A and B are shown apart, each in its own frame.
Chain A
């Protein structure tokens, strides 16, 4: 079974703190993704990475950065957390390749609250 794990299920941080969300996958997938999920908006892509040290911006990268130093690990960083970053954060991974059929495998999510 594909396993995508996230470091925390629930996290509470204060405004201005630096926040790290960690994601690890064990299926040797090339692609890794970070989404945020908000009610009524579905999932929105923050960043994705298709290789170690490679990253591309998604739809809503502002206020976030990412790091991928090892193939299996993809970190999302909130440099200075703000209350509007309170959300559910989902990590996903998939095989690389052209063609539309590659599904993404998701982690359990991290519910982040910024106070």
Chain B
């Protein structure tokens, strides 16, 4: 079964505007972590932000924030004040439970294009 769902294959945003990239997940574990990665055209995956299932506040890292709605099992990434350099693929990922961290599952990704 798909553990991570990203329903937006592609998104467009005007420079300087905010954009939300959707991510829903499926788990029965109480302890899990949610990650967002950015993949520019160069190919390297860049870690952006992390949210733990027990964290009460939404994670923020600079212009990135994670809108965590636990009951809805969603972990949307919000990018404020978009820049041309934000154009990239964005992947949501989840790691479950307390075992060694091999069980990281990735969504299919969303390609974000920032228009000047």
Binding site for B on A (CB under 8 A): 9, 31, 33, 35, 40-45, 48, 50, 56, 58, 88, 90, 92, 94, 96-109, 111
List residues of chain B with CB within 8 A of the CB of A31: 100-102
Partner of B50, one of A43, A96, A101: A101
Q: Is the CB of A42 within 8 A of B50?
A: no
- In this complex, what residue of A is CB-closest to B35? A103
Q: Is the CB of B98 within 8 A of A98?
A: yes
Q: Is the CB of A40 within 8 A of B108?
A: yes
Return the 6 tightest CB-CB contacts between A and B, nearest first.
Answer: A100-B33, A106-B45, A109-B43, A43-B106, A42-B106, A42-B108
Q: Is the CB of A100 within 8 A of B44?
A: no
Binding site for A on B (CB under 8 A): 4, 6, 9, 31-33, 35, 37, 42-47, 50, 52-53, 91, 93, 95-102, 104, 106-109
Chain B proximity of A22: nearest CB distance (Å): 16
List residues of chain A with CB within 8 A of the CB of B99: 98
Given A42-B4, A43-B91, A103-B50, CB of A108 within 8 Å of CB of B102: no
Given A50-B102, A90-B45, A105-B47, CB of A42 within 8 Å of CB of B33: no
List residues of chain A with CB within 8 A of the CB of B104: 33, 45, 104
List residues of chain B with CB within 8 A of the CB of A90: 43, 45
Partner of A100, one of B9, B52, B106: B52
Partner of B52, one of A58, A96, A101, A108: A101
Q: Is the CB of A42 within 8 A of B31?
A: no
Chain B proximity of A86: nearest CB distance (Å): 15
State A102–B31 Cα separation when bound (angstroms): 13
Instruction: Jot down 19 A-B pairs with beta carbons below 8 A, ordered by A.
Output: A31-B102, A42-B4, A42-B6, A48-B102, A56-B102, A90-B43, A90-B45, A94-B101, A97-B100, A100-B33, A101-B33, A102-B95, A104-B45, A105-B47, A106-B44, A106-B45, A108-B42, A108-B43, A109-B44
